[in-house]
Copies of this chain bind each other. A is one copy, B any other.
Amino acid sequence: MVDWNQLSKQEQTEVERQYKVLSYGVDTILPQDEFKKKLATSIKEKRPLKVKLGLDPTAPDVHIGHTVVLNKLKQFQEFGHTIQLIIGNFTGKIGDPTGKDAARKALTDEEVKHNAQTYFEQFGKIIDMDAVELHYNAEWLSKIDFAEVLRLASHVTVARMLERNDFHNRYTDNKPIYLHEFFYPVMQGYDSYALESDIELGGTDQEFNVLFGRQIQEQFGKEKQVVLLLPLIEGLDGVEKMSKSKGNYIGIDESPGDIFGKTMSIPDELIVKYFRLASNLKIEEVAKIQADLEEGGLHPKDAKMRLAYSFVEMLYDQETADLSKENFLNVFQKNKMPGELPEVWWEKQKEVLVIDLVKDLGLLPSKGEVRRMIKNGGIRIDQEKIDDPSLIVSVVDGLVIQVGKRKFVKLRIQ
């Protein structure tokens, strides 16, 4: 690798500039000095760094928690580095035959392809997918024979594996750990060797696995990757890590109204963390918001409005963000007098499927829910019960939509 004093003044400045942005919000860089050297070498030799992110094809639901790493990838992209996305189809196709964890059952080729596609579509909202290198790890892992597996395994101790938190806990709780599970980190490490990755990104919960890449690259005489561990963000409950299974998430694919509304529901303590990690605001903007909040010049509710706006803008566009904000203010913020209904400005098409209408207004979380509610007789338009989910509604100014017993919205059009 290139030495610091081999760089021109200008190159040194560029290293510092990239380092500042790329290390921003990162929990741990392992090891820190090597990261700077990687950047220096890249700049000196005009060679983009290869930045790896491994994806588990069994769980394609992408939420705001993932934007922590996606925003980091975007920053690397903006500096001209190369993103390596690896779909773990080898792992995914093997699955976990113990049947203890349904999420780990073997996937077919088609399921893997479908799940990968889902990732790509959602990732495309944040990073430039045209500039990304895509890899499927079965390409190299399926060619490894038993002798090679044993050679790989001969560098790994059982005690080291049992140091990994979840393995340790399962072992001490007398819950079974199956031998093949020990190979997940080994495979992840082998991917880094196969693709000669310079950097690997992961959540702090991935520390054990991503460090394996360094070990296996070294074992095969390659330059070791640098690991950037990103913080995990808590979900809407403010307690547990954001995840689909916990239900405390903001999905990247959700409607603008849902993204806006859910963001407004986060605890105040998380505002700055979400800004720093999940939004795409610049370092200085986040610093300003933080200072204003601390000095009391900015009300937490207004900060959340700004955050919610930035999420919708990032995942949709500015116009949608404006509309979402307006709707939110109309529906949830205005003081409602008795008998007076909350009003929402409707700017979409005038002829609209009843299902889309109710969903887009954010009155129910999904089209499935709307359909179910119609079946149960819980949707009324201008007091008339709707029983045909394929009904097309002609929106007129003043139309009243009712969901269940208590949710009312009056539509306004200009």
Contact = CB atoms under 8 A, between A and B. Distances in A.
Given A142-B146, A145-B142, A153 B171 contact: no
Nearest to A184: B150
A182 interface: yes
Given A161-B179, A177-B158, A147 B98 contact: no
A180 B157 CA distance: 9
A247 interface: no
A66 to B, nearest CB: 27
A94 interface: yes
A173 to B, nearest CB: 11
B142 A156 contact: no
Contacts of A150: 94, 180, 183
Contact of A171 (B141, B152, B158, B183): B158
Contacts of A174: 159
A264 to B, nearest CB: 45
B156 A178 contact: yes
A406 to B, nearest CB: 50
Interface residues of A, number: 38
B94 A147 contact: yes
Contacts of A90: 146-147
Interface in A76-117: 90, 93-94, 96-98
A158 B179 contact: yes
Interface string A35-54: 00000000000000000000
A155 interface: yes
A149 interface: yes
Nearest to A93: B147
The prevalent SS among residues of A at the interface is helix
Interface string A192-216: 0000000000000000000000000
Report the copy number of this chain in the oligomer: 2
A176 interface: yes
Contacts of A157: 176-179
Interface in A300-350: none
A102 to B, nearest CB: 15
Contact of A179 (B143, B147, B182): B182
Contact of A149 (B149, B161, B178): B149
Nearest to A140: B146
Contacts of A178: 153-158
Contact of A154 (B144, B152, B153, B179): B179
A176 B97 CA distance: 29
Contacts of A171: 158-159
A282 interface: no
Contacts of A143: 145-146
Contacts of A288: none
7 contacts: A97-B151, A144-B146, A154-B178, A157-B178, A158-B167, A158-B178, A159-B171
Q: Which 8 pairs between the two chains have the least Cβ-Cβ distance?
A: A153-B180, A153-B179, A144-B146, A154-B180, A150-B180, A156-B179, A158-B177, A157-B176
Given A94-B147, A97-B151, 14 more contacts: A90-B147, A94-B154, A97-B154, A141-B146, A142-B147, A145-B145, A149-B149, A149-B180, A153-B182, A154-B179, A156-B179, A157-B176, A158-B167, A161-B179
